[in-house]
């Protein structure tokens, strides 16, 4: 006949399991396991129909072009973002991803916004070239309008004639920066998108 002492160890194990189950909610409040999901931000540029096509390329003077910029927050908490809009020619510095360095070009326009975790922020970006000149093999953009704000480029942004592609090319750069609570300043988030513009017909 089976006696209670024969399954004593099983009994103790069962009781301990039940105690562990009862203690689990309390343990969970104080022990936080590190999250296995990666935290990151997304930056993207969409065309005028809010999809990845029909991006402006051949730019004419005084004509307004529209694209959309969006940022997705997958950081696990609300973030304070900044997007800097810059203009560069083919030889000027672009951001370097390998060492998280932003472009050294000055910002022409900036967006500041807050995005909750899991949210995607989106905004329109309209731009036009208001004043540009061409002299010999050099093009210069002196004034632009970005989101209805007139921006004077001082000094003017210049590009030389690209023989291979037969045109004057500039890149509209959008860099993503994020407010760092530790350093109490915005820091480049190592995300950027660029839109190449052929301004040959804008003179």
Partner 1 sequence: MKPSNCANLILLLVLTLSTLTVVARSQDASDQEIATQGIKNAEEAAITAYKVTIQAENIGANITDLTSALNTAEYLLATARVAYNNGNFTEAAAFASQAKSIGDYVNSKASDLKASTHNENLTRQLLVSLGSVLGIAAIALASTLTWRSLRKHDRT
Contact set with partner 1 (CB under 8 A): 3-5, 11, 15, 18-19, 22-26, 29, 77-78, 80, 111-116, 149, 179, 181, 184
Distance CA 36, CA 188 (A): 24
Q: Are 39 and 75 in contact (CB under 8 A)?
A: yes
Nearer to partner 1, 23 or 52 (CB): 23
Smallest separation (angstroms) from partner 1 to the CB of 13: 11
Residue 135 near residue 153, CB atoms below 8 Å: no
Q: How far is the CB of 99 from partner 1 (least distance, A)?
A: 27
Least separation in angstroms between CB 162 and partner 1: 33
Q: How far is CA 61 from CA 41, 65, 102, in A?
A: 34, 11, 28
The residue with tokens 């860099």 is 175
- Give the nearest distance from C-beta 134 to partner 1 in angstroms: 28
Q: Which helix (H) or strand (E) holds 19?
A: helix 8-30
């Amino acid at each position: 006949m089976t006696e209670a002492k024969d399954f004593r160890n099983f009994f103790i194990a069962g009781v301990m399991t039940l105690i562990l189950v009862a203690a689990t909610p309390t343990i969970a409040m104080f022990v936080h396991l590190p999250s296995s999901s990666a935290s990151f931000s997304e930056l993207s540029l969409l065309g005028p129909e809010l999809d990845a096509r029909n991006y402006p390329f051949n730019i004419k003077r005084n004509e307004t072009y529209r694209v959309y910029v969006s940022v997705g927050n997958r950081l696990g908490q609300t973030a304070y973002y900044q997007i800097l809009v810059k203009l560069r020619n083919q030889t000027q510095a672009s951001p370097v991803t390998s060492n998280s360095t932003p472009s050294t070009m000055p910002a022409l326009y900036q967006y500041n916004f807050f995005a909750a975790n899991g949210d995607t922020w989106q905004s329109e970006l309209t731009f036009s070239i208001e004043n540009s000149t061409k002299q010999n093999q050099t093009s210069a953009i002196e004034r632009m309008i970005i989101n209805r704000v007139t921006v004077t480029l001082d000094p003017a942004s210049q590009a030389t004639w690209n023989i291979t592609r037969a045109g004057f090319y500039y890149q509209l750069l959008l860099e993503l920066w994020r407010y760092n609570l530790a350093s109490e300043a915005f820091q480049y988030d190592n995300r950027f998108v660029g839109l190449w513009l052929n301004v040959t017909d804008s003179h």
